[in-house]
Structure 1
């Protein structure tokens, strides 16, 4: 079965839209801080940790995507980000700021980095004649 490269591009954009939910963290910072009695800066630190781990894992995941393929790395990314998000709810329920940092920051951030690199590197391969368009489509999400 031959896959249309625009289907691959669309899937990459959708993947990026999903992991882009990380940027909604600022909407939750104040309510979490008020509900738990934590400082807003402490809650916001979880986002900073997530972005740090996004960058660190993205730096290394390019090689992994090349080695094991986008399906497996995309699955790993989805699992990590989803697990981090679920554990974030548990961390808030448990009133544990450190668990929040581990779940949203570290685990979710690792998933974000893997999820960011996977569609970009994959779409670029499907569009060797339009690398700029491919990168733009991938990042658009």
Structure 2
């Protein structure tokens, strides 16, 4: 079942409609673009944790730092693994980041939100952002003869 995520599966066979690929890449980018709306969460999180704006804003900072680090460090893995596996891992980490953050909010532990949204979600962001260019190269690759 997981073999369908392998890089070899990204080479389109005869008759494959390559126009399915850009919407998938766009969907990933639309999902992970949510991070830029983080300011919507600032005030409610400040109230929930009785924390300063700085303490809550660190969550966003961690996620953006992890975005850059994961993209830089895991870029070679992305090229070896291909866009399907990368998008699946990115989605799993992004969702896991939200779930861990929800646990942190429910328990009143800000550090868990740092870990969830910041670290896990940030790594998912980085992988999601670099999966689209890999996806585009797979889209442009000619079908095997």
TM-score grouping bracket, smaller chain normalisation: 0.7 to 0.9
Whole-angstrom distance in 2 between the partners of 1:4 and 1:116: 23
Q: Are 1:30 and 2:43 an aligned pair?
A: yes
Name the TM-score, length of structure 2 as normaliser: 0.82
Deviations 1:89-131 (A, max 9, x none): 1111111111111111111100110111011221134237xxx
Match of 2:74 among 52, 61, 79: 61
**1:57 Cα deviation from its structure 2 partner:** 0.6
Q: Which runs of 5+ in 1 are unaligned?
A: 129-141
Aligned residue number for residue 122 of structure 1: 135
Instruction: Report the 3-state secondary structure (helix = DSSP H, G, I; strand = E; otherwise coil) of the residue aligned with 1:3.
Output: coil
Match of 2:108 among 48, 72, 95: 95
> Is the contact between residue 42 and residue 57 of structure 2 (CA under 8 Å) also seen in structure 1?
yes
> Is the contact between residue 82 and residue 134 of structure 2 (CA under 8 Å) also seen in structure 1?
no
**1:15 Cα deviation from its structure 2 partner:** 0.9
Whole-angstrom distance in 2 between the partners of 1:73 and 1:105: 19
Match of 2:88 among 75, 79, 103: 75
Larger Rg: 2
Q: Which runs of 5+ in 2 are unaligned?
A: 1-12
Whole-angstrom distance in 2 between the partners of 1:71 and 1:7: 13
Whole-angstrom distance in 1 between the partners of 2:139 and 2:75: 16
